[in-house]
A = this chain, B = another copy of it.
Amino acid sequence: MKARIYVTLKKGVLDPQGKAIQRSLSHLGFDGVEEVRVGKFMEVRLGAMGREEAEKLLQDACRRLLANTVIEDYRIEL
C-alpha cells in the first residue's frame, strides 16, 4: 500500500526558503512569480495492512516525527 504525505508551513509562518526561491526566479527574469512556499512531500510504502490501520499509523507518525505541528500542517493521501 502506498501513501503520500504533504507537510506545509502554516499560514503566517515565514518561509525564507520560499522567499529565496522567489527572488532567484525574479533575478532569472521570471517576474510573474509573486510568492513561493516550500513544503515536504513523502511517498511512503506500507506493509500489508488495512486502510484504517494505515491512516492511524501515518497520523501518529506525522505527529511524532514527520511534522512539527507547532508550525506545520500535514495532509495524508491514501
Interface residues of A (CB under 8 A from B): 6, 8, 18, 21, 24-25, 28, 30-47, 49, 53-54, 57, 60-61, 64-66
Report how many copies the assembly holds.
Answer: 2
Whether the Cβ atoms of B61 and A33 lie closer than 8 Å is yes
Whether the Cβ atoms of B33 and A37 lie closer than 8 Å is no
Please indicate the chain B residues that have their CB under 8 angstroms from the CB of A61 in the complex.
25, 28, 30, 33
A75 to chain B, nearest CB (A): 10
Give CA–CA (A36, B57) in the complex, Å: 14
Please indicate the chain B residues that have their CB under 8 angstroms from the CB of A65 in the complex.
21, 24-25, 28
List 20 A-B pairs, Cβ < 8 Å.
Answer: A6-B41, A8-B43, A21-B66, A24-B65, A25-B65, A28-B65, A30-B60, A32-B47, A32-B49, A32-B57, A33-B45, A33-B57, A34-B45, A34-B46, A35-B44, A36-B44, A38-B41, A39-B41, A39-B43, A41-B41
